[in-house]
Amino acid sequence: MSEVPPELAELRNSIDNMDAALIHLLAERFKITQQVGVLKATEGLPPADPEREKEQIARLRRLAESSHLDPEFAEKFINFIVAEVVRHHADIAEAHQRGDAVS
């Protein structure tokens, strides 16, 4: 394999750093949404909040547009995350109903 040009290596290193930051941010986000799931289960609230999700999608589409990111991509990305969060919240609610400790 031929040697990678220094500029390409530098760009790839920047991408790798951004990927690591994204993973860390997602991990932090999911720690918070787990707390939300526990609170919802404790309060008897449903796992999903369609109105909140709709507002978030609109807000993130606006942010994407102002950041010159394809808003369709941003919407797909947030929909993927929200689906995972709702799944976690449903699991937490189910555990709560069984009387299992949730945290």
Does residue 39 carry a pLDDT above 80?
yes
List, for residues 44-69, the tens digit of each pLDDT value: 999 999 999 999 999 999 999 999 99
- Pick from 96, 59, 91, 93: which is nearest to 75 by CA? 59
Give DSSP secondary structure letters for 26-89. Answer: HHHHHHHHHHHHHHHHHHT--S--HHHHHHHHHHHHHHHHHTT--HHHHHHHHHHHHHHHHHHH
Does residue 103 carry a pLDDT above 80?
no
Q: Distance between CA 10 and CA 48 in Å, rounded?
A: 42
